[in-house]
Amino acid sequence: AKGLLKLAALTTPLICYRARELLLYRNMPKQSDSRLPWRSVWSSREQSLAVLRLPRLVSRSYLERLVHSLQQQCAGTATRLLDFSKVKHIEISAHQEFFSLATLLRNPDNAISMLGLTAAVSRELAACRVMDVLGESDSGNPLNALSNTTGNERYQAPTCKSYMMGATGLVFLAGRVDGPGLARMGFVETLQHSARDRTCIIDFRDVSLLESSAIAELYPLITSIQASEKGQILISGAGPNVRQMFRMSGLAQPVRFIDDSSLLAHIATEDMTND
Q: Provide the pLDDT for residue 145.
A: 63
- pLDDT for 31-51, tens place per residue? 555 678 888 777 666 667 788
What's the whole-number average pLDDT of the chain?
80
Q: Which of 30-34, 50-54, 145-149 has the highest mean pLDDT?
A: 50-54
Distance between CA atoms of residues 104 and 275, nearest Å: 26
3-state SS assignment for residue 101: helix
At 270, which amino acid appears? Answer: E
Q: Is the pTM of this model over 0.85?
A: no
Pairing of the two strands 232-236 and 256-258: parallel
Mean pLDDT (whole number) for 214-240: 84
- pLDDT for 68-106, tens place per residue? 888 887 555 678 888 888 888 888 888 889 999 999 888
At 256, which amino acid appears? Answer: R
- pLDDT for 12-26, tens place per residue? 877 777 777 777 666
Distance between CA atoms of residues 50 and 39, nearest Å: 5
User: Residue 69 in contact with residue 37, Cβ under 8 Å?
Assistant: no
